[in-house]
Structure 1
Amino acid sequence: MTAHKSNGEQNSSRPPPVLERKSENKRAKEETSRTRKRVKRYSLVLPEELYTTIQELADDRGTTVLEIFRRFIKLGLIAAELENDPNKSLIIREGDKEREIILI
């Protein structure tokens, strides 16, 4: 129950809940606005089989599909950077076998 002063005013120790919610909503909108300036959205359509494989990988690693995509993109950017330098190459080693990866 809210304490009331004798003249009918509410206790001023806490703002009324309605004002509190408006303030929270305003802060949330400001934060969303700032976030939009720092990130970009991209929709991606995948075959179900490929998505399932990525979901299983994420589950096995205890992470999300989104995080797996971020890691793949970072790895792809490293590979693309290596491709631009003729003195660098991307090598996959499996035991004593090596394969050079060439991006198309």
Structure 2
Amino acid sequence: MNSMSTMQTACTKYLYPDRGRSDSKPGQVKRYTLAMPEDLYDALKGFAEAHDSTLGDCIKKNLRLGMTIACLASSKDVKVLIQEEGKNPEVLLPVF
């Protein structure tokens, strides 16, 4: 299986968990240690505190958002846009 079809399979399982067979059981979690630059850590921690959330929840939500954008943007037929009020939309491109 090539890397593009592997990514498409992973994205389909992520975006549409009811399609096909899932190897993980509901509620099952995996642990991973993440090293990050101090400025990113401080930004995530500050964002979490400002939104009355935990750092762990903030990281999980940002990872889910990033994964969703990466999966959607991996399709040639999809453009992911951000539009601020009164400004032209900007196209988001995944960095990988």
Shorter chain as denominator, the TM-score bin is: 0.5 to 0.7
Partners of 1:47 and 1:86 in 2: CA distance: 32
Q: Tell me if 1:86 matches 2:53.
A: no
Question: Residue in 2 aligned with 1:46?
Answer: 36
State the TM-score, normalizing by the size of structure 1: 0.59
- Across the aligned residues of Structure 1 and Structure 2, the Cα RMSD in angstroms comes to 1.6
Moved over 2 A (4+): none
| Identity, % of aligned positions | 25
Higher relative CO (Cα under 8 Å, sequence separation at least 6) belongs to: 2
Where does the alignment leave 5 or more consecutive residues of structure 1 unmatched? 1-36
State the TM-score, normalizing by the size of structure 2: 0.64
Question: Residue in 1 aligned with 2:58?
Answer: 68
Amino acid at match of 1:80: A
Partners of 1:62 and 1:50 in 2: CA distance: 18
Where does the alignment leave 5 or more consecutive residues of structure 2 unmatched? 1-26
